[in-house]
Amino acid sequence: MRAVVQRVTQARVTIDGTVVGAIGVGFLVLVGVHVDDTPGDAQALASKIVNLRIFDDEEVGMTNDLAAVGGSILLVSQFTLLADTRKGRRPSFVAAARGEQANGLYESVAAHMRALGVHVETGVFGGDMDVELVNRGPVTIVLDTQSQARSDAKG
């Protein structure tokens, strides 16, 4: 799974002018599901995101997590995060999981985050959404469970 985590003061998703998910302080998380991802990837990604310490402490810098600031998560599925642009000018999405597999793992990430005590709003899987955010910092972190697995295998 690949995720782009943005620290925000507010974020929302609308479809045809109707707000379907909105948060104040927290993370806007765009998540793409890879064809090789498993339920274990969903659980690991959820835990990593919920526990990221990227909120400022008045004295030290980025030491606080979501719980420390009372933050929420707006989780949005985005298969284009798995784009392969190495050849030509048109991205390939063969690595992106399709339909039922992708939606199941996306929903699993949200469920694991909620189980960890975080308020989670979501976009609409497969929907044509408008995403608005105010990125504080700006702070943006990219996480990839597949890269981590390859890194762990190398030792």
**Contact status, residue 103 vs residue 76, Cβ threshold 8 Å:** no
Helix, strand, or coil here: 86?
Answer: coil
Catalytic residues: 78-80
Per DSSP bridges, beta strands 26-32 and 18-23 are unpaired
- Cα–Cα distances (Å) from 7 to 30, 35, 71, 88, 131, in that order, read 12, 27, 10, 33, 14
